[in-house]
Homo-oligomer: A and B are copies of this chain.
Amino acid sequence: MKSTFGEHIQISLFGESHGAAIGVNINGLAPGIRLDLDFMRAQLDKRKPKGKISTQRREADEFEIVSGYFNGYTTGTPLCIFIRNQSQHSKDYEATKYLMRPSHADYTAFQKYGGFQDYRGGGHFSGRITAPLVAAGAVCLQILKEKGITVATHIAACAGIADEPFGADKADLLRQAEKLNDSYFPTISSRAEQEMVQAIEQAHSSGDSVGGILETAVINMPAGIGEPFFGSVESVLAQLLFSVPAVKGVEFGLGFGFAGLRGSQANDPFVMEGDNVCTVTNHNGGINGGISNGMPVIIRTAVKPTPSIYQPQQTVDVQKRENAQLQIHGRHDPAIIHRARVVVDSMVAIGLVDLFADRYGYMWTAPDGSREERKDVF
Contacts and interface: CB of A to CB of B under 8 A. Distances in A.
A22 B68 CA distance: 10
Contacts of A117: 31, 70, 75-77
Q: How many copies does the complex hold?
A: 4
A8 B247 CA distance: 26
Given A262-B208, A267-B102, A109 B291 contact: yes
Interface in A351-378: 357-364, 370-371, 374-375, 377-378
A186 interface: no
A316 interface: yes
Interface stretch (A42-50, A172-180, A223-231): A223-231
Interface residues of A, number: 170
B313 A267 contact: yes
A103 B264 contact: no
A1 B314 contact: no
A78 B24 CA distance: 11
A32 interface: yes
Interface in A112-166: 112-119, 122-125, 129, 157-160
A27 interface: yes
Contacts of A203: 262-263
A109 B229 CA distance: 13
10 contacts: A2-B27, A4-B27, A12-B25, A102-B270, A103-B284, A114-B370, A114-B371, A228-B243, A235-B242, A238-B238
Given A4-B10, A105-B290, 17 more contacts: A4-B230, A5-B229, A15-B66, A73-B116, A77-B117, A102-B267, A104-B289, A107-B223, A107-B270, A112-B224, A235-B243, A242-B252, A256-B256, A266-B304, A269-B313, A271-B316, A361-B364
